[in-house]
Amino acid sequence: MDIAVFGDIHGNDIAFQACVDYCMGKGITNYALLGDFISDCPGVKKTMELIYVLRQYFNCFTVRGNREEYMLNYKKAGENGWMKGSGSGSLLYTYEQLTEKDLKLFEELPIYGIWNPKGVSGFEYCHGSPTGVSDLLFGDKRNTKRTLNKIKTNVLLHAHTHVQESFLYRGKRAVNPGALGLPRNKNCYAEFAIIHSGKSGWEEELVQVKYDRHAILKEFTTSGLMEFAPAWAAVTMHTIRTGVDLSEAILLQAMKLCEEDRGIVRWPTIPEQYWAEALKENYLDLSGKDIPRPKNN
C-alpha cells in the first residue's frame, strides 16, 4: 500500500495538479491531505475542485489546517475584521472564492486522524499536531519528541512548518511532506511525500516535482489577488520564484515602520506605504522580483 501525503497546498493549483499527475503515473490510489489547502495563492476554486475529485474517486485521509480554521472563524465572527490591503486582503480574497460547500467541508473535517487496523501497521495524521492546527513540530525539537512519545502508532504525518523532513525518535517517526504549494528548496519544486507499507512498517519517500511556476505566477496577475493584497502577493510570488520565505520578516518590518511613524500599530490595518517600504528594504518589487542591491564602493 502506497499513500501520497500532501500538505500546505495554499491555493497553488498548478503545483497541486502536477503532484497528483505524478502520483497517478505511479498508480497511487491513497492520499493523506493534511490541511492548509487554500490562501496565499490565487487558485482557490481549482484547488478545492481537485480535492473533491480525490475524495470522490480515491481513498483519502483528510484533516483541516489553520488556514481552514481562519475561514471558519471569520464566518463565525460575522465576516468582520478583514479588508482589502496587504494585512488581510489575501485572506479576504480567499474567503470570497470559497463556496458554502467548501466551508461545510472545513467544518466537518477533524484536526487529527488515526488509521490503525488490526494486523497492519497504522499511522496518525494532522496539520500541526494531534492537539492543535497551529503547533509547529520541527525534527529534533523537544515538543516533537513529546508528541511522538504520546502517539499510538509508530508514524505521525504532519505539516505546517513548510519543512520537508523525516525524524525518528525511539522507534517512532514524524514525516513532514513539506509545502506542496509554497516549497522552500533551491529548485522551487513542489514537495510531498509517499509512504510505502512493508513487512517492517512504513517507509517514507520525500518527493520533489517540477511544475509550471510561470502558470501560477500568471494567475496572480489575472486573478485580482494582487489588487486585494499588493505586498503580500509580492512576498508569496517571491517565495514561488526563489524558495525563500520572507513573509514574517516583511510583516514585522511593516509593523515596525508603522509604529515608529504613528506611535501605534494594529494588524491588519497597516497602511500600504509601510508595506511598500518593507518590500523595498528587503529588495523586492511588487511583482515579487529581486531588486538589484547597491554595490559596495
Q: Please tell me whether residues 84 and 186 are part of one structural domain.
A: yes
Query: Could you report the per-residue pLDDT of 85-120, keeping only the tens digit for each?
Result: 999 999 999 999 999 999 999 999 999 999 998 888
Residue 215 lies in a domain: no
The arithmetic mean of pLDDT across residues 124-130, rounded, is 98
Query: Is there a domain that residue 297 lies in?
Result: no
Confidence of residue 283 (pLDDT cuts 50, 70, 90): very high
Neighbour-count burial for 144-168, b at 16+ CB within 10 Å, e otherwise: bbebbeebebbbbbbbbbbbbbbbe
Cell numbers for 282, please give them.
528587503
When pLDDT is cut at 50, 70 and 90, the band that residue 63 belongs to is very high
Number of domains in the chain: 2
Whether residue 182 is found in the same domain as residue 267: no
pLDDT of 294 reads: 84
| Cα-based angle 233, 235, 238 (whole degrees, multiple of 5) | 110
Domain end among 178, 209, 240: 209
Judge whether residue 175 has pLDDT over 60. yes
Q: Is 156 left (phi over 0), alpha (psi -120 to 50) or beta?
A: beta
Residue 150 sits in the same domain as residue 237 = no
Q: What's the pLDDT score for residue 92? A: 98
24 and 144 assigned to the same domain: yes
Instruction: Note the pLDDT of residue 211.
Output: 98
Q: What is the per-residue pLDDT across 233-277, written as a single tens digit (0 to 9) for each?
A: 999 999 999 999 999 999 999 999 999 999 999 999 999 999 999
Same domain, 110 and 184: yes
User: Is residue 289 pLDDT above 70, yes or no?
Assistant: yes
Q: In this structure, is residue 25 part of a structural domain?
A: yes
Q: What is the pLDDT of residues 75-84, one digit of tens each?
A: 999 999 999 9
**How many other C-beta atoms are found inside a 10 Å radius of the C-beta of residue 274?**
22
Over residues 190-238, the pLDDT tens digits come to: 999 999 998 889 999 999 999 999 999 999 999 999 999 999 999 999 9
Residue 80 lies in a domain: yes
Question: Can you give the pTM of this predicted structure?
Answer: 0.96
Last residue of a domain, one of 209, 240, 266: 209
Residue-level pLDDT at 244: 96
Q: Would you say residue 93 lies in a domain?
A: yes
Shared domain check, 25 and 156: yes
The pLDDT value given to residue 35: 98
* pLDDT > 90: percent of the chain: 95
- Is residue 159, in this structure, part of any structural domain at all? yes
pLDDT of residue 295: 80
Same domain, 180 and 273: no
Residues 235 and 128 in one domain: no
**Which pLDDT value is given to residue 146?**
98
Residue numbers of the domain that contains 237:
226-281
- Specify if 21 maps to a domain: yes
- Partners of 230 in the β-ladder: none
Q: What percent of the chain has pLDDT over 70?
A: 99
Residue 291 in any domain: the answer is: no
- For 129-165, give the DSSP string: BTTBTT----TT-HHHHHHHHH-SSSEEE--SS---E
Give me the CATH number covering residue 179. Answer: 3.60.21.10
pLDDT in tens, 2-50: 999 999 999 999 999 999 999 999 999 999 999 999 999 999 999 999 9
Same-domain check for residues 98 and 185:
yes
Whether 165 and 276 map to the same domain: the answer is no
Q: In terms of Cα–Cα distance, which of 193, 144, 186, 146 is closest to 165? A: 193
pLDDT higher than threshold 80 for residue 160: yes
Helix (H) or strand (E) holding 253, with range, is helix 247-262
Both 181 and 96 in a single domain?
Answer: yes
Clarify whether residues 247 and 187 are in a common domain: no
Report whether pLDDT(297) > 70: no
What's the mean pLDDT when you consider all of the chain? 96
